[in-house]
């Protein structure tokens, strides 16, 4: 299947919201409002396939989306990655992540990370499991106000763009904001 990755446009917001919030309803990622998606639209990339499906015959098919948020001059986050279930397993998630990494490189950012429940996927994209404790730009600034801070068991995955290797998660070191910073098991 031929897939194109391009910057998101306002007409993508409904599709983006639908796929993200479908997974959010299953507690697999953070919910995003229409206002959030519009405000951060320029962070987002969209994957689209050839026209078809339920839309007008000439409209390309929305397959998924992903955002790159620059947090500091040195660090950017891959977030809101979602591929429609019917399009999964075809390399679209990896193509979206690689496009975000290319954008981070273009911007001159040195490190890219993701917080995720699917660390194996990010390993396949070249990221390494590390400790959220080593990303204070996220764990001290944004995590404490995240709605999921009491039930966070997300893995921190990091990629260095300068060829150096991130420090891996230490043996026995806990995963997730709740265990690491609140010292208890995440709520279910
Ligand atoms: C996770 C997700 C983005 C993967 O997208 P995808 O297009 O199906 O993934 P790809 O086809 O690009 O897979 C790339 C590689 O990762 C592997 N992979 C994909 N999903 C995986 C998973 N859940 N667990 C382990 N490995 C996975 C694939 O087998 C493939 O491996 P390969 O290198 O051997 O070929 C997609 O399933 C999704 O949207 N999930 C729900 C939302 C979510 O969890 N988002 C991540 C939030 S950070």
Residues of the chain falling short of pLDDT 50 = none
Is residue 78 located within the same domain as residue 20?
A: yes
Q: Do 139 and 97 share a domain, yes or no?
A: no
> Is residue 105 domain-shared with residue 54, that is, in the same domain?
yes
Q: Which domain holds residue 180?
A: 112-188
CATH of the domain at 93: 3.40.630.30
* Ligand 1, atom 32, residue with closest C-alpha: 124
Q: Which residue has the least CA distance to atom 46 on ligand 1?
A: 81
| Length of the chain (residues) | 188
3-state SS string for 103-141: HHHHHCCCEEEEEECCHHHHHHCCCEEECHHHCHHHHCC
Between CA 52 and CA 163 the distance in angstroms is 41
Total of domains in the chain? 2
State which of 48, 124, 152, 155 you would mutate to test the pocket of ligand 1, scoring each by most atoms of that ligand within 8 A of its C-beta.
Answer: 124
What is the rounded CA–CA span in Å between residue 63 and residue 82?
9
CB of 93 within 6 A of ligand 1: the answer is: yes
Centroid of ligand 1 to alpha carbon of 159 (angstroms):
17
Same domain, 118 and 60: no
User: For residue 58, what pLDDT is reported?
Assistant: 82
pLDDT given for residue 53 in this prediction: 63
User: Do 93 and 144 have their domain in common?
Assistant: no
Last residue of a domain, one of 78, 109, 140: 109
Q: How far apart are the C-alpha atoms of 84 and 72, rounded to whole Å?
A: 30
pLDDT on residue 77? 98
**Residue 24 CA to ligand 1 centre (angstroms):** 16
Say what the pLDDT of residue 125 is: 98
Assigned token pair, 87? 């399009």
Residues 83 and 128 in one domain: no
- 159 Cβ contact partners less than 8 Å away, ≥ 6 residues apart: 101, 111, 112, 113, 125, 126, 127, 128, 166
pLDDT value at position 39?
Answer: 98
pLDDT of residue 52: 77
User: What predicted TM-score, i.e. pTM, was given to this entire model?
Assistant: 0.96
């Amino acid at each position: 299947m031929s897939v194109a990755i391009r910057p998101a446009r306002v007409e993508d917001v409904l599709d983006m919201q639908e796929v993200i919030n479908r997974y959010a309803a299953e507690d697999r990622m953070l919910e995003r409002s229409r206002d959030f998606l519009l405000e951060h639209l320029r962070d987002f990339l969209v994957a689209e396939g050839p026209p078809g499906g339920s839309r007008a015959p000439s409209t390309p098919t929305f397959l998924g989306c992903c955002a790159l948020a620059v947090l500091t001059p040195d660090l950017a986050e891959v977030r809101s990655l979602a591929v429609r279930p019917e399009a999964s397993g075809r390399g679209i998630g990896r193509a979206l992540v690689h496009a975000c990494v290319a954008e981070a490189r273009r911007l001159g950012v040195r490190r890219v990370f993701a917080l995720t429940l699917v660390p194996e996927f990010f390993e396949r994209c070249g990221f390494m499991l590390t400790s959220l404790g080593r990303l204070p730009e996220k764990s001290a600034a944004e995590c404490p106000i995240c709605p999921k801070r009491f039930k966070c068991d997300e893995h921190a995955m990091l990629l260095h763009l300068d060829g150096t290797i991130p420090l891996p998660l230490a043996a026995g070191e806990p995963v997730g904001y709740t265990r690491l910073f609140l010292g208890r098991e995440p709520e279910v």
